[in-house]
Chains A and B, each alone.
Chain A
Amino acid sequence: MRRDARPLLRCQDVSFAYGTIEALSAVSLELTPGEIFGLLGPNGSGKSTLLRLMSGVTKPRSGQVMLTERNLQTYDRKALARRIAVVPQESRIELPFSVLEVVLMGRSPYLKRFGFEQAHDIAIAQHSMEQTGVRTLATRGIHELSGGERQRVVLARALAQEPQLLLLDEPTAFLDIKHQVEVYDLLKHLSREQGLTVVAILHDLNLAALYCDRVALLKSGKIFAQGTPEQVLTYVNIKVVYDTEVYIGLNDITGKVHILPLDEENRSRLAQQEKNRR
């Protein structure tokens, strides 16, 4: 069991810039196998850039990203696609593929150049469609689906890659509340039962508090705070990072923190209270 304690992925002083605009500076973090890790932070704080660096699609300007103690850039692309899968925020699929065909594309890192999918690949694709609840849609055209259904197809495609690490960029932004919790329940199940490591960008701090084992709060390309949701999602941290006042309470049922936005009137009242208290 000692082996499990070794990090699956490690970012060491990773920096990145778009042209001269710095997006990330000296970010370091480690992912333990089987955990759900949330990336939080306001728009433009560098979350998506960090996710791209973790996926190996983009090369850091300095520092390095290590996957099981080996630099990500030294992996061959297909080998990497067998270990890491990515679910983008929104997927537009331009040609009228069927749902099953799209999910089977997740098997392509395992296929030979001219190969066709084997029974084994079909079985895996069907299993991942089962998991994300789109099995009944298998023969439908991807373009006939709603945004939420399409997103679950893309998640099934990522699972068909049989990755060790799953990276998601706001996977549930376009899903209704039932499908949001279904997706996160599934991710939690996969991480607990199969040791899948999950990194998700979230805007919903409550979902982060509910499902993430650990979170990192980013501000202007740096990690502002890192730890369990209870440690990181405090009134002060949110005030500094998001520049807004929120109400933080404890959920009786889950025992986790919950965060509620406040309107203008209540924001100024709360700010006054906090000032008096000090």
Chain B
Amino acid sequence: MSYLTKQKWLLVNGGLVIFLVLTILICVAIGAESVHLTQVWQSPSLDNPEAVILFRIRLPRVLLAAVVGGALGVAGAALQALLYNPLACPHLIGVSGGASLCGILALVGTSMIAAHTPGFLKISLVSIAAFGGAVGTTVLTYRLALVHGRLQPYALLLTGVVFNALCSALIMLVNSLVDFYQSHAILFWLMGSLAAHDYVTVGLTSLYVLIGVTWLMAQGRRLNLLSLGEESALQLGVDIDALRRGIFLAASLLVGAIVAVSGMIGFVGLIVPHLLRLLFGADHRLLLPASLFGGAAFLVWADTLARTVASPSELPVGVVTAVCGGPFFLYLLRKEGRKVFTQ
């Protein structure tokens, strides 16, 4: 089928939703301590240690992985269309850099103020600071990327790249000034982790992600028209300035919310949209929801691998996504490169 029909839309998204639900059910059961879902089903009370592991530790983590992965997938797909660049990923627009820098300053700051700050408070303070940093960076890059009052993709791309480079230099600077333990904490935070979050964090992140993703998914057909070039999109009735502004702000909201809780998890936002585009075509009406469900399932599996493969110790999930995603992506490029890049 060389165009998108309602049947294809329902089939693909339905299939991916089923895959995601199965993924979640399987992955909550897998771990250092194996959990039998049927036993927990029979006695779901918190006296049952298996139920405690499932509901207090596994489930929030798996749900957060799904939310973060989905948001990364959607943000990646939308930014690839906005920036006319197949290499665009959510961490390219500068927001990640700003969020990381502020998160790390909070990490160092809180541990300096009180070495015995309770763990959960430290985490949430870091998240709040990172989210603040994301908002600040969004405003700043937006201002810098305006050319004659209009948001220009190339200016946005360059501003983002330079801003990220600047932020990583500052992160290095902070890293070189702190002691060994703090330095280790910084490194670990930067590599990204989905551990140690409660339902409040998961809920709040989901809320932000829901707002950004819903708005972007409603723009599916306009994102298609955007790829015809500025002039043709305008002529076909798209208010291109408003659309670009909206995509940038929605993607920034997504990236800010997820970097704040999980650090910089790379590769998901780059490879998930590419893979799905190869499988199901470039139409954003399908690609955006598919990237949501596909990204979610991918990150849940990657995180499950990260916490089990070297059990009882844990690998950073960003390492797993890169190690799994990188070679696979290179293979796709070799095999199907002409379909990924139009030139």
Most buried by A among B238, B281, B282: B282
In the assembled complex, A81 has its CB within 8 A of some CB on chain B: yes
> Which of A38-46, A97-105, A229-237 has 4 or more CB atoms under 8 Å from chain B?
A97-105
For the complex, is A96 an interface residue (Cβ under 8 Å from B)? yes
User: With contacts A57-B231, A93-B228 known, is A99 near B2, CB below 8 A?
Assistant: yes
Kindly state whether residue B176 has any CB partner on chain A within 8 Å: no
Do the beta carbons of A143 and B3 come within 8 Å of each other?
no
- Could you tell me the distance in whole angstroms from the C-beta of A76 to the nearest C-beta in chain B? 8
Q: Which of B39-47, B123-131, B154-162, B217-225 contacts A (4 or more CB under 8 A)?
A: B217-225
Q: How many residues of B contact A (CB 8 A)?
A: 35
Q: Mark A81-122, 1 if CB is under 8 A from B, else 0.
A: 100111010011111111111101110110101101100001
Contact between chains at B281 and A91 (CB < 8 Å) = no
Instruction: Find out whether the CB atom of B235 lies under 8 angstroms from the CB atom of A96.
Output: no
Partner of B231, one of A86, A106, A113, A139: A86
* Contacting pair A108 B221 (CB below 8 A): yes
Majority-rule SS of B interface residues: loop
Q: Is A65 an interface residue (CB 8 A)?
A: no
Of the listed stretches B25-33, B184-192, B303-311, B335-343, chain A binds: B335-343
Is B229 on the interface with A (CB-CB < 8 A)?
yes
> Within the complex, what minimum Cβ distance (angstroms) separates B338 from chain A?
7
The answer to whether A93 and B237 touch across the interface, beta carbons within 8 angstroms, is no
User: Would A101 and B283 count as touching, CB distance under 8 A?
Assistant: yes
Of B4-12, B249-257, B290-298, which stretch is located at the interface?
Answer: B4-12
Q: Tell me if B91 counts as interface (CB < 8 A to partner A).
A: no
Contact with B along A156-196 (1 / 0, CB 8 A): 00000100000000000000000000000000000000000
Given contact pairs A96-B277, A96-B282, A98-B281, A113 touches B342 in the complex (Cβ within 8 A): no
The answer, yes or no, to whether B239 is at the interface (CB within 8 Å) is yes
User: Does A80 sit within 8 A of B, measured CB to CB?
Assistant: yes
Which residues of chain A are within 8 angstroms of B282 by Cβ–Cβ distance? Answer: 95-97, 101
CB–CB A95/B81 < 8 A: yes
- For the complex, count residues of A whose C-beta is within 8 A of B: 43
State in angstroms the CA–CA spacing of A119 and B138 once bound together.
Answer: 43
- A91 B218 Cβ-Cβ under 8 A: no
Is B231 a contact of A138 with CB atoms below 8 Å? no
Q: Is the CB of B227 within 8 A of A93?
A: yes
Report the minimal beta-carbon distance from B275 to chain A, rounded to whole angstroms. Answer: 13
Which residues on B sit within 8 Å (CB–CB) of A11? none
Contact of B225 among A57, A98, A108, A141 (CB under 8 A): A108
Interchain nearest-CB distance for B329 vs A (Å): 16
Whether A104 pairs with B3 at a CB distance below 8 angstroms is yes
Q: Given that A93-B342, A96-B277, A116-B4 are contacting pairs, would A55 and B235 also be in contact in the complex, using a CB cutoff of 8 Å?
A: yes
In the assembled complex, B211 has its CB within 8 A of some CB on chain A? no
The chain A residue sitting closest to B5, CB to CB, is A116
Enumerate 8 A-B pairs (CB-CB under 8 Å) in ascending A order: A55-B235, A81-B237, A91-B228, A94-B227, A95-B80, A95-B227, A101-B224, A108-B225
Q: Contact residues of A with B, CB < 8 Å? A: 52, 55-57, 77-78, 80-81, 84-86, 88, 91-102, 104-106, 108-109, 111, 113-114, 116-117, 122, 138-139, 141-144, 154, 161
B residues bordering A, Cβ < 8 Å?
Answer: 2-6, 9, 80-81, 84, 218, 221, 224-225, 227-229, 231-232, 234-239, 277, 281-283, 285, 338-343
CB-CB nearest 5 A-B residue pairs: A143-B342, A77-B237, A139-B2, A78-B237, A98-B2
16 further interface pairs, Cβ-Cβ under 8 Å (given A91-B229, A102-B228, A116-B5):
A57-B234, A77-B237, A91-B232, A93-B228, A94-B227, A95-B81, A95-B224, A95-B277, A97-B281, A101-B283, A116-B4, A116-B285, A139-B2, A141-B339, A144-B338, A161-B236
